[in-house]
């Protein structure tokens, strides 16, 4: 169904203030029925606030919202839902302890006089799940037991159950594998065909090209460009709009060939029962090795085992010729390893602490005398490290929770730079990081490698892994299925290797 003439939803000049910050500073948005309208913008551009405003979770200070041409005000989330706007949040908003059906009907349970009609809800939920192509998810199943992709489907079923005319999706592909993303897009196509409008928020430009009809770019809380064509607008223009800077190439060029020095890190037949087995590779100083694979293949587990955060059941890790004690992070760090974990917020940062303290976290001993910490020295060294990676804003006393994802990641990198570590393990270094900061992190990684640090990178973004690494290991179901130079293989080849393993397994089972 082609987009109709009069817009379904229109936002004009929306302003939203919180104490101390103007989160939205003049947002315009026009969405038509039956179109997929993408919303682009860096972290901090105001996307999350805008979503909450649409969902009725925040009020508006200035500006108007028009629905079907009529001005409308959302007093609370229920009002927005009743009007016909359903939202699927990035941090999934499901209750783990309730069943799939309960979650689908959360807030609008099918009940008579307060007594829930479970059979009715189960039946209706089953129908919705089948529509989404997932009839294998039982409506009585506890949501806490589902994978992230499964939870996403439940979130979508909930949006469908509201019979919404506009569905807002906030980074829906962030937790999905490439083939699950295909499934997501099939659903989006179906919704579009039935006349529902989708507001699709994503960092991934390739997805926006694939699925989007039109797009709007936000920067610093305001619309800098609205109603552009999603397929035809050039990437460079989009990046310039989002960041205000021009960005030439994505991946920095490698300086030269890798020095022929003895390996800094040697992993030999490393294994953990039930997770991965027989992983072996070497890392030379200045070399970047990438681990590519699907979510759940075991890459994070491998990295955490090398780091000592998990105990290996077999194999060894050697750093600079000395074997590391199994299962000891302390030993690994003392030997010169550093880890930037996958879940930055929960595993890498003390969110409510200052920036400089997060950076000096691994080096406090250096600045302490007889257990008493040397605050001044610690702070200035951390500040230096923060400046060297360009953490913005340049305020080391700020609580790190207030920084954007990209700057938080740079702070974690600074932590290991302060320690002058020899081997850096990076697990999904650009997840949740916007396009502008991503380029900065790539440059940082390249600089580190050029200065002699050995780097191991895990990423679900195959292009990213191939672009950054010198050598690439493809991991599928806990084993290494390919080991070779990164310029000898492309994204298609990587996927082929992964799927080949799956096919083998199916044959074994049959």
Element housing 154 (H / E): helix 148-161
Measured from the CB of residue 115, what is the shortest distance to other proteins in angstroms?
5
Whichever of 98 and 174 has its CB closer to other proteins, that residue is: 98
CB 215 within 8 A of CB 200: no
Helices and strands: H and E segment counts in the chain: 17, 24
Whichever of 272 and 379 has its CB closer to other proteins, that residue is: 272
- Cα gap 233→217, rounded to integer Å: 11
Which position has the token pair 């003439």? 5
- Cα gap 479→313, rounded to integer Å: 15
Measured from the CB of residue 99, what is the shortest distance to other proteins in angstroms?
3
Measured from the CB of residue 143, what is the shortest distance to other proteins in angstroms?
7
Whichever of 73 and 261 has its CB closer to other proteins, that residue is: 73
Interstrand relation of 314-319 and 265-272 (parallel, antiparallel or unpaired): antiparallel
Measured from the CB of residue 268, what is the shortest distance to other proteins in angstroms?
31
Question: DSSP letters along 372-422, please?
Answer: EE-HHHHHHHHHHHHHHTT-SS--TTSBGGGS-HHHHHHHHHHHHHHTT-S
Whichever of 158 and 422 has its CB closer to other proteins, that residue is: 158
Q: What is the contact surface with other proteins in residues (CB under 8 A)?
A: 55, 57, 76-78, 81, 87, 89, 92-103, 106-109, 111, 114-116, 118, 130-131, 133-138, 140-147, 149-150, 153, 158, 177, 179-180, 182-183, 186, 190, 194, 502
Whichever of 194 and 323 has its CB closer to other proteins, that residue is: 194
Measured from the CB of residue 508, what is the shortest distance to other proteins in angstroms?
15
- Cα gap 355→364, rounded to integer Å: 14
Whichever of 108 and 311 has its CB closer to other proteins, that residue is: 108
- Cα gap 23→18, rounded to integer Å: 7
Omega before 393 within 30 of 0, i.e. cis: yes
Measured from the CB of residue 145, what is the shortest distance to other proteins in angstroms?
4
Whichever of 69 and 113 has its CB closer to other proteins, that residue is: 113
CB 7 within 8 A of CB 64: no
CA 108 to chain centre: 30
Measured from the CB of residue 67, what is the shortest distance to other proteins in angstroms?
18
């Amino acid at each position: 169904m082609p987009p109709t003439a009069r817009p379904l939803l229109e936002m004009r000049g929306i302003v939203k203030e919180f104490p101390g910050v103007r989160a939205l500073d003049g947002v315009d948005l026009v969405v038509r029925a039956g179109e997929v309208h993408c919303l682009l913008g860096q972290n901090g551009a105001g996307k999350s606030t805008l979503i909450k405003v649409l969902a009725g979770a925040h009020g508006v200070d200035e500006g108007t919202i028009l629905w079907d041409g009529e001005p409308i005000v959302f007093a609370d989330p229920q009002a927005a839902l009743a009007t016909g706007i359903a939202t699927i949040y990035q941090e999934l908003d499901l209750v783990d302890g309730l069943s799939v059906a309960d979650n689908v009907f959360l807030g609008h349970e099918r009940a008579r006089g307060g007594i829930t009609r479970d059979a009715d809800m189960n039946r209706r939920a089953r129908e919705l799940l089948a529509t989404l192509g997932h009839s294998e998810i039982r409506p009585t199943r506890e949501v806490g037991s589902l994978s992230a992709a499964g939870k996403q489907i439940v979130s979508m079923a909930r949006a469908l159950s509201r019979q919404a005319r506009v569905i807002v999706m906030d980074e829906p592909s962030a937790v999905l594998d490439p083939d699950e993303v295909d499934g997501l897009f099939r659903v989006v196509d179906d919704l579009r065909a039935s006349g529902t409008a989708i507001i699709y928020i994503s960092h991934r430009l390739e997805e926006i090209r694939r699925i989007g009809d039109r797009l709007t770019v936000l920067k610093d809380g305001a619309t800098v460009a609205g109603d552009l064509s999603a397929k035809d607008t050039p990437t460079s223009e989009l990046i310039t709009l989002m960041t205000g800077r021009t960005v030439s190439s994505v991946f920095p060029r490698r300086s030269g060939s890798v020095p022929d020095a003895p390996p800094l890190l040697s992993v030999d037949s490393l294994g953990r029962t039930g997770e991965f087995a027989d992983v072996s590779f070497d890392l030379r100083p200045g070399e970047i090795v990438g681990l590519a694979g699907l979510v759940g293949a075991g890459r994070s587990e491998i990295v955490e085992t090398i780091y000592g955060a998990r105990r290996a059941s077999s194999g060894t890790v050697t750093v600079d010729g000395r074997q590391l004690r199994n299962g000891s992070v302390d030993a690994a760090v003392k030997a010169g390893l550093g880890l930037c974990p996958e879940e930055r917020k929960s595993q890498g940062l003390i969110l409510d602490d200052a920036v400089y303290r997060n950076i000096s976290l691994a080096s406090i001993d250096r600045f302490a005398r007889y257990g008493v910490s040397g605050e001044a020295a610690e702070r200035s060294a951390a500040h230096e490290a923060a400046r060297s990676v360009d953490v913005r804003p340049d305020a080391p006393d700020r609580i790190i929770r207030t920084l954007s994802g990209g700057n938080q990641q740079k702070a974690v990198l600074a932590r290991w730079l302060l320690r002058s570590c020899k081997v850096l393990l990076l697990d999904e270094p650009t997840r949740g990081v916007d396009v502008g900061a991503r380029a900065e992190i790539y440059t940082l990684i390249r600089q580190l490698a050029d200065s002699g640090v050995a780097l191991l990178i895990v990423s679900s973004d195959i292009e990213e892994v191939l672009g950054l690494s010198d050598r690439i290991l493809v991991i599928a179901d806990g084993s290494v299925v390919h080991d070779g130079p990164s310029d000898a293989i492309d994204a298609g080849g990587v996927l082929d290797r992964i799927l080949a393993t799956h096919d083998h397994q199916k044959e074994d089972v049959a």
